[in-house]
Copies of this chain bind each other. A is one copy, B any other.
Amino acid sequence: MPMQMSGPLAALDKWQPDRCSMAMALDVVGTKSAMLLLREAFYGTTRFDGFVRRVGITEAVAAKRLKELVEHGLLEKRPYREPGSRTRYEYVLTEMGNALLPVVVALMQWGDTYLRDDGGPLRVVAAETGEPVSVRVAPSGAESLGPEGLAVRINRKG
């Protein structure tokens, strides 16, 4: 999406980005703790204690963030019970929460590539084949595109 204010995006110069979708998204998941909790949920953690311990945040922060994520619809708080214990609750990703998977994986892989020497401690692979996966931006069925291959259009309202 390059435009030196003369390219294909000159139209955007007039567009007011004040409350763009990304800003709205960041109001929901724009904190480190929210993103790290989502990462942990993708890993399969469901219990309060697990989130606290594995993300490395305090109970207070975990409680607040988890509550927000539930309220915003990214996590569902559902009852479960182990034999012999009373009912407890677990936090499970909703479809809305699952839809953030590309963001999480992209951030992980970007960190692996640019912020460390060892390539990172983990790799994400296809469950069936074991092939490493990557995050790509592309039209369906086409090759991955970089910034130069992309453009942004303004949607007509109504």
A110 at the interface (CB under 8 A from B): yes
Instruction: Write the nearest CB–CB distance from A49 to chain B, whole angstroms.
Output: 8
- Checking B50, B101, B134 against A146 with a beta-carbon cut-off of 8 angstroms, the contacting residue is B101
CB neighbours (8 Å) of A102 from chain B are 102, 106, 135-137
CB neighbours (8 Å) of A139 from chain B are 125-126, 129, 131-134
CB neighbours (8 Å) of A2 from chain B are 44
**Known interface pairs A103-B110, A126-B142, A155-B121; A43-B3 also in contact (CB < 8 Å):** yes
CB neighbours (8 Å) of A73 from chain B are 114
Complex contact A5–B127 (CB within 8 A): no
Q: Which residues of A contact B (CB under 8 A)?
A: 1-10, 12, 15, 17-18, 20-32, 35-36, 39-47, 49-50, 54-56, 73, 93, 96, 98-116, 118-140, 142, 145-155, 157-158
Complex contact A119–B155 (CB within 8 A): yes
Complex contact A151–B138 (CB within 8 A): no
How far is it, in angstroms, between the C-alpha of A157 and the C-alpha of B118 when the chains are bound?
8
Complex contact B115–A17 (CB within 8 A): no
Complex contact B45–A122 (CB within 8 A): no
